């Protein structure tokens, strides 16, 4: 089988003066993190062609211990990406197909009467797995969607006054189609805010789509044939190591300035919350670690800013009537806030 190309800096190039942000406590991550990240990237690229940026961001989200919302039109590989990540990580994974008749107990679990024991026993729902694929999440009712809130934020489930901890690592990868609105229920802001990132897939490039066509009917690797390349324990250890990535005071202030700009933008009625600030820092740390760096540079923040912030802000009615998009607002914010060390930093 032909080897997929090794992951590259598909999210841009590094600043030439990056070492100014190193800090005295940035001792290094070692090779284990990048080895695990690259192994996952290579395997997923076997089956998801021409989507290196989306794959990279999705894995950054996982190693930042966040949840991922994959949103785009039908047929571009949303479910395939989620399944590829789930199957490539050792441990347990489950798929929940969200439908209008799905009940909250189908997600979290239910207590049933055990006649032999003479008491109730808890039968876990689909949420009890290391990686959970919530397919077409916006097709379920708001009541069922809300069953995910506690699990996503606190990594636990409470049923009949009993609390059950979820396994670690734990990640929800949800997909939704933003075009087809009939029979769907938009995700509330409180739930959108619990997703660390929202990543669009987009259409493949011409060469990538030609490769997809050429592969049709040939014995190629597909998502269902994938085997784990890293264990759940390795992922959990890598997640812990991300917290040691150094964030210099200038970079921290840059994150605060970006978030503050979203809160005072005239075209937004809702800016990013403190959870957004924490998410931006966590994602920046994981991205830096994916490049083998033990410290964050401003370019790391810029590269993940849109994926972390776009789904957390809310347009004003006037901006929506003008046809302004949140993507345009986020780009404007990114361009308006001064970048630390901008004289020598890359803008890519």
pLDDT value for 127 = 94
pLDDT reported for residue 222: 76
β-pairing, 119-124 vs 109-114, is antiparallel
- Whether the per-residue pLDDT at 6 is higher than 90: the answer is no
Contact 62, 235 (CB under 8 A): yes
pLDDT recorded at residue 209: 82
Domains and CATH numbers, the chain: 13-29+244-341 (1.10.8.80), 42-211 (3.40.50.300)
Flag whether pLDDT at 33 surpasses 50.
Answer: yes
- Write down the mean pLDDT value for the chain: 85
Beta 171-176 vs 68-71: how paired, if at all? Answer: parallel
Measured over the CA atoms of residue 15, residue 271, residue 192 and residue 322, the dihedral's sign is: negative
pLDDT at 31 over 80: no
Q: Residues of the chain with pLDDT > 90: what percent?
A: 44
pLDDT digits (tens, 9 = 90+) for 184-196: 888 888 889 999 9
Burial profile 229-238: b = 16 or more Cβ within 10 angstroms, e = fewer: bbebebbbeb
Confidence of residue 128 (pLDDT cuts 50, 70, 90): very high
CB neighbours of residue 208 within 10 Å:
14
Among left, alpha and beta (phi > 0; psi -120 to 50; other), residue 165 is beta
pLDDT at site 180: 66
Of 55-69, 90-104, 107-121, 199-213, least confident by mean pLDDT is: 199-213
Averaged pLDDT, 82-98: 88
In the structure encoding, which two tokens stand for residue 31, read together? 């090779």
- The DSSP symbol for 311 reads G
Total length of the chain: 348
Q: What pLDDT does residue 72 have? A: 79
Give the pLDDT confidence score for residue 63 in this predicted structure. 94
What 8-state DSSP symbol labels residue 118?
A: T
Distance CA 306, CA 277 (A): 13
């Amino acid at each position: 089988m032909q080897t997929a190309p090794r992951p590259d800096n598909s999210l841009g190039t590094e600043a030439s003066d990056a070492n100014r942000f190193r800090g005295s406590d940035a001792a290094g991550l070692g090779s284990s993190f990048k080895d695990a990240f690259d192994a996952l990237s290579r395997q997923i690229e076997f089956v998801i062609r021409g989507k290196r940026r989306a794959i990279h961001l999705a894995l950054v989200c996982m190693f930042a211990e966040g949840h991922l919302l994959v949103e785009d039109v039908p047929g571009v590989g949303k479910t395939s990406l989620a399944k590829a990540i789930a199957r490539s990580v050792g441990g347990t994974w489950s798929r929940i197909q969200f439908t209008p008749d799905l009940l909250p107990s189908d997600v979290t679990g239910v207590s049933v009467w055990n006649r032999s024991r003479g008491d109730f026993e808890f039968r876990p729902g689909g949420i009890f797995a290391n990686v959970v694929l919530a397919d077409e999440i916006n097709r379920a009712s708001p009541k069922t969607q809300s069953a995910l809130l506690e699990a996503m934020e606190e990594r636990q489930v409470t049923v009949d006054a009993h609390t059950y901890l979820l396994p670690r690592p734990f990640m929800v990868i949800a997909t939704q189609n933003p075009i087809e609105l009939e029979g769907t229920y938009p995700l509330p802001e409180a739930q959108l805010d619990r997703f660390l990132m929202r990543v669009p897939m987009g259409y493949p490039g011409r060469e990538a789509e030609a490769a997809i066509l050429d592969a049709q009917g040939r014995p190629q690797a597909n998502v269902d044939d994938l085997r784990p390349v890293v264990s759940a324990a390795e992922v959990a250890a890598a997640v812990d190591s991300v917290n040691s990535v150094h964030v210099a005071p200038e970079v921290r202030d840059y994150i605060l300035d970006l978030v503050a700009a979203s809160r005072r933008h005239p075209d937004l009625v809702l800016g990013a919350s403190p959870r957004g600030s924490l998410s931006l820092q966590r994602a920046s740390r994981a991205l830096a670690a994916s490049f083998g760096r033990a410290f964050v540079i401003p370019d790391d923040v810029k590269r993940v800013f849109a994926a972390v912030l776009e789904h957390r802000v809310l347009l004003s009615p006037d901006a929506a009537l003008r046809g302004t998009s949140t993507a345009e607002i986020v780009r404007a914010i990114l361009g308006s806030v001064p970048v630390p060390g901008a004289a020598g930093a890359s803008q890519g």
